[in-house]
Amino acid sequence: MALDISCFLLVALFSASCETITSLDQMCIEKETNKTYSCENLGLSEIPGTLPNSTECLEFSFNFLPTIQNTTFSRLVNLTFLDLTRCQIYWIHEDTFQSQHQLDTLVLTANPLIFMAETALNGPRSLKHLFFIQTGMSSLEFIPVHNLKNLESLHLGSNHISSIKLPKEFPTEKLKVLDFQNNAIHRLSKEDIQSLQSATNLSLNLRGNGITEIEPGTFKSTVFQSLDFGGTLNLLVIFKGLQNSTIQSLWLGTFEDIDDEELSSSVFEGLCEMSVESISLQKHHFLDISSNTFHCFTNLQELDLSATHLKELPSGITGLNNLKKLVLSANKFDNLCQIHAANFPSLTHLYIKGNTKRLVLGTGCLANLENLHLLDLSHNDIETSDCCNLQLKNLSHLQSLNLSYNEPLGLKTEAFQECPQLELLDLAFTRLRVQAAQSPFQNLHLLKVLNLSYCLLDTSNQHLLDGLPALQHLNLQGNHFPNGNIQNTNPLQILESLEILILSFCDLSFIDQAAFIGLKIMNHVDLSHNRLTSSSIEALSHLKGIYLNLASNSISSIPPGLLPILSQQRTINLRGNPLDCTCSNIYFLDWYKENRQKLEDTEDTLCANPPLLRGVKVSDVTLSCGITAVGIFFLIVFLLLFAVALIFAVKYFLRWKYQHI
Partner 1 sequence: MRREEEPRRPFYWACLALLTHKPLTMNSVAAALLVWTLTSPSSSGHGTEEAWPTHMACSGGGLEVFYQSCDPLQDFGLSIDQCSKQIQPNLSIRFGIILREDIRKLFLDIALVSRGSSILNYSYPICEEDLPKFSFCGRRKGEQIYYAGPINNLGIDVPQGEYQILLELYNENRATVACANATVISS
Q: Rule CB under 8 A: which residues touch partner 1?
A: 3-4, 7-8, 10-11, 14-15, 17-18, 21-22, 24-25, 41, 61-62, 85-86, 109-110, 131, 133-134, 155, 157-158, 181-182, 207-208, 230-231, 253, 255-258, 282-283, 304, 306-307, 327, 329-330, 612, 615-616
Q: How far is the CB of 42 from partner 1 (least distance, A)?
A: 8
- Give the Cα separation of 287 and 324 in Å (integer): 25
- Give the Cα separation of 100 and 459 in Å (integer): 60
Contact, 408 vs 429, CB < 8 A?
no
| Closer residue to partner 1 (CB): 61 or 172 | 61
| Closer residue to partner 1 (CB): 17 or 597 | 17
| Closer residue to partner 1 (CB): 163 or 232 | 232
Q: How far is the CB of 507 from partner 1 (least distance, A)?
A: 22
Provide the β-strand partners of residue 617: 606
- Give the Cα separation of 96 and 76 in Å (integer): 12
Q: How far is the CB of 54 from partner 1 (least distance, A)?
A: 25
- Give the Cα separation of 131 and 63 in Å (integer): 17
Helix, strand, coil tally for the chain in percent (to 5): 20, 20, 60
Q: How far is the CB of 103 from partner 1 (least distance, A)?
A: 19
Q: How far is the CB of 87 from partner 1 (least distance, A)?
A: 9
Contact, 308 vs 287, CB < 8 A?
no
Q: How far is the CB of 656 from partner 1 (least distance, A)?
A: 41
Contact, 32 vs 54, CB < 8 A?
no
Q: How far is the CB of 85 from partner 1 (least distance, A)?
A: 4
Strands 547-549 and 571-573, by their bridges, are: parallel
CA dist 78 to 37, 96, 101, 122, 557, Å? Answer: 13, 14, 7, 15, 48
Q: How far is the CB of 417 from partner 1 (least distance, A)?
A: 31
| Closer residue to partner 1 (CB): 207 or 412 | 207
| Closer residue to partner 1 (CB): 84 or 143 | 84
Contact, 504 vs 549, CB < 8 A?
yes
Say which DSSP state 166 is in: P
Most distant pair of Cα atoms in the chain: their distance: 140
Q: How far is the CB of 604 from partner 1 (least distance, A)?
A: 11
Q: How far is the CB of 616 from partner 1 (least distance, A)?
A: 6
Q: How far is CA 356 from the centre of its chain?
A: 27
Q: How far is the CB of 135 from partner 1 (least distance, A)?
A: 10
| Closer residue to partner 1 (CB): 253 or 319 | 253
Q: How far is the CB of 514 from partner 1 (least distance, A)?
A: 40
- Give the Cα separation of 491 and 464 in Å (integer): 6
Contact, 572 vs 596, CB < 8 A?
no
| Closer residue to partner 1 (CB): 281 or 432 | 281
Strand ranges for 243-286 from DSSP E = 246-251, 275-280
Residue 584 neighbours by CB under 8 Å, 6+ apart: 557
* Amino acid identity at 434: V
Helix/strand/coil for 385: strand
Q: How far is the CB of 453 from partner 1 (least distance, A)?
A: 17
Peptide bond preceding 216: is omega within 30 degrees of 0, i.e. cis? Answer: no
Helix/strand/coil for 437: coil
Contact, 509 vs 532, CB < 8 A?
yes
- Ordered DSSP codes for 179-231: E-TTS---EE-HHHHHTTTT--SEEEE-TT----EE-TTTTTT-EEEEEE-TT
| Closer residue to partner 1 (CB): 283 or 575 | 283
| Closer residue to partner 1 (CB): 124 or 253 | 253
Q: How far is the CB of 456 from partner 1 (least distance, A)?
A: 20
Residue 659 neighbours by CB under 8 Å, 6+ apart: none
* Amino acid identity at 477: Q
| Closer residue to partner 1 (CB): 347 or 606 | 606
| Closer residue to partner 1 (CB): 117 or 258 | 258
| Closer residue to partner 1 (CB): 104 or 304 | 304
Q: How far is the CB of 21 from partner 1 (least distance, A)?
A: 7
Contact, 444 vs 469, CB < 8 A?
no
Q: Which residue in 422, 425, 429, 424 sits closest to 408, CA to CA? A: 429
Say which DSSP state 284 is in: P
Helix/strand/coil for 242: coil
Q: How many residues does the chain have?
A: 661
| Closer residue to partner 1 (CB): 15 or 659 | 15
CA dist 381 to 20, 31, 335, Å? Answer: 56, 43, 12
Helix/strand/coil for 596: helix
Q: Which residue in 532, 541, 490, 533 sits closest to 513, CA to CA? A: 541
Q: Which residue in 244, 314, 229 sits closest to 279, CA to CA? A: 229
Q: How far is the CB of 48 from partner 1 (least distance, A)?
A: 15
| Closer residue to partner 1 (CB): 100 or 134 | 134
| Closer residue to partner 1 (CB): 255 or 642 | 255
| Closer residue to partner 1 (CB): 133 or 365 | 133
